Structure 1
Amino acid sequence: MTQIANDTRAAVPVGVSGGLLLAALSATTFGLSGPLATGLLDTGWSPGAIVLTRIAIAALVLAPFTVVALRGKWRLLRTQALQILLYGVLAVAGAQFCYFSAVATMDVAPALLIEYTAPAAVVAWLWITRGQRPGRLTVAGAALAAAGLVLVLDLFSGADLAWSGVAWAFAAMIGATSYFLISADTDSGLPPLALAGAGLVVGAVTLGALAVTGLLPMHANTAATAYAFGDLPWWAPLVLLGVVTAAVPYATGIAAIRLLGSRVASFVALWEVVAAVLFAWFFVDQLPGLAQLAGGLLIIGGVVAVRLGDRDIS
Structure 2
Amino acid sequence: MMTSSPASPSRRAGLLAAGAATVTVVLWASAFVSIRRAGEEYSPGALALGRLLVGAAVLGALCLVRREGPPPRAAWPGVAISGLLWFGLYSVVLNWGEQEVDAGTAALVVNVGPLLIALLGARLLGDPMPPRLLAGMAVSFAGAVTVGVSMSGGGGSSVLGVGLCLLAAVGYAGGVVAQKPALGHASALQVTTYGCLVGAVLCLPFAGQLVTDVGRASLPATLHMVYLGVFSLALAFTTWAYALARTTASRMGATTYAVPALVVLMSWLVLDEVPGLFTLAGGALCLAGVAVSRSGGRSARVVAKAPRTGRTHESL
**TM-score clears 0.5:** yes
Q: Is the 8 A contact 2:107 2:144 kept in 1?
A: no
Q: Is the 8 A contact 1:69 1:193 kept in 2?
A: no
Q: Which runs of 5+ in 2 are unaligned?
A: 1-8, 303-316
When structure 1 is superposed on structure 2, of 124-133 and 294-303 the one drifting more is: 124-133
Counterpart of 2:234 in structure 1 is: 247
In structure 2, distance between residues paired with 1:167 and 1:273: 20
In structure 2, distance between residues paired with 1:224 and 1:127: 46
1:148 to 119, 143, 154: 143
Q: Is the 8 A contact 1:46 1:218 kept in 2?
A: no
Q: Which has the higher contact order (CA 8 A, sep 6+)?
A: 1
Counterpart of 1:206 in structure 2 is: 202
| Letter in structure 1 aligned against 2:288 | G
Q: TM-score, normalising length from structure 1?
A: 0.81
| Letter in structure 2 aligned against 1:262 | A
Distance 1:130 1:258, change over 3 A: closer
Counterpart of 2:52 in structure 1 is: 55
* Per-residue CA distance 1:148-187 (angstroms, 9 max, x = gap): 1122232565464433333322211111112322332266
Counterpart of 1:274 in structure 2 is: 261
Q: Is the 8 A contact 2:122 2:128 kept in 1?
A: yes
Q: Offset of 1:139 from its aligned partner?
A: 2.3
In structure 2, distance between residues paired with 1:299 and 1:103: 21
In structure 1, distance between residues paired with 2:216 and 2:208: 24
When structure 1 is superposed on structure 2, of 129-138 and 82-91 the one drifting more is: 129-138
1:184 to 161, 180, 186: 180
Distance 1:297 1:18, change over 3 A: farther
| Letter in structure 1 aligned against 2:15 | S
When structure 1 is superposed on structure 2, of 134-143 and 123-132 the one drifting more is: 123-132
* Per-residue CA distance 1:4-51 (angstroms, 9 max, x = gap): xxxxxxx96743332222112111111212222333344x32232222
| Letter in structure 1 aligned against 2:13 | G
Distance 1:159 1:23, change over 3 A: farther
1:231-310 alignment runs, 5 A limit: 232=220, 234-308=221-295
* Per-residue CA distance 1:42-81 (angstroms, 9 max, x = gap): 4x3223222211111011001122245564x64x354433
In structure 2, distance between residues paired with 1:102 and 1:26: 22
* Per-residue CA distance 1:249-271 (angstroms, 9 max, x = gap): 11111111122321111111122
In structure 2, distance between residues paired with 1:221 and 1:189: 41
| Letter in structure 1 aligned against 2:223 | A
Distance 1:132 1:253, change over 3 A: closer
Counterpart of 1:6 in structure 2 is: none
| Letter in structure 2 aligned against 1:107 | D
1:97-112 alignment runs, 5 A limit: 97-112=92-107
1:64-213 alignment runs, 5 A limit: 64-68=61-65, 71=68, 74=70, 76-129=71-124, 132=127, 134-153=129-148, 154=150, 158=154, 160-185=156-181, 188-209=184-205, 211=206
Count of residue pairs brought into register by the alignment: 292
Quote the sequence identity (%). 21
| Letter in structure 2 aligned against 1:278 | L
Q: Is the 8 A contact 2:104 2:152 kept in 1?
A: no
In structure 2, distance between residues paired with 1:13 and 1:198: 30
Counterpart of 2:34 in structure 1 is: 36
Distance 1:169 1:218, change over 3 A: farther
- Which structure dedicates a bigger proportion of its chain to helix? 2
Q: Is the 8 A contact 2:27 2:231 kept in 1?
A: yes
Distance 1:251 1:133, change over 3 A: closer
Q: TM-score, normalising length from structure 2?
A: 0.80
In structure 2, distance between residues paired with 1:70 and 1:83: 22
When structure 1 is superposed on structure 2, of 23-32 and 150-159 the one drifting more is: 150-159
